[in-house]
Amino acid sequence: MSMSMNKIFYKVKKHLLTQGERSYSENDGGVCLYRSPNGMSCAVGCLMTDDMYSVHLERNNVTNSTIVKVLTPIIGVHHYKRTMKLELLTMLQRLHDVVPVSNWSIKLDEIQKKYGIGDRV
């Protein structure tokens, strides 16, 4: 069964704020990674189980067809819900990759309001 928007958001929020730094490769010019060699994971990578993840997923954004297929257990198959979840994941991925870590909490609050995500999981 897929995850709700609330569950996705709160799992990613907790992960990012606890980790407190980007998942990236120092060897490749600082490119963000779903999972980095030092054990970090990004906003989308933290949702992937070990069985879902492959190094071949790196350097693809969340809307890439291969990534979407891998994320099906999380985003489900219902077209409208899936589309909304991918939009949310795109925003969360962009936050991880672009927004300064010191502003993550503020931006997460903005994303929560934009998607009407409640205060409960």
Task: Report phi then psi at 32, rounded to 5.
Answer: -75, 145
121 in a domain, yes or no?
no
Cα separation, 120 vs 78, whole angstroms: 23
- Higher pLDDT: 120 or 32? It is 32
SS3 74: helix
63 in a domain, yes or no?
yes
119 in a domain, yes or no?
no
Closest CA to 12 of 113, 80, 111: 111
Q: Compute the CA torsion angle 76, 36, 99, 116 (nearest 10 deg).
A: 20
pLDDT digits (tens, 9 = 90+) for 21-66: 999 988 877 899 999 998 999 999 999 999 999 999 999 999 999 9
91 in a domain, yes or no?
yes
Q: How many CB atoms lie within 10 A of CB 54?
A: 13
Least reliable range by pLDDT among 3-7, 23-27, 71-75, 113-117: 23-27
The number of domains in the chain is 1
Q: Global pTM?
A: 0.94
Average pLDDT over the chain reads: 94
29 in a domain, yes or no?
yes
Domain of 72 in residue numbering reads as 5-114
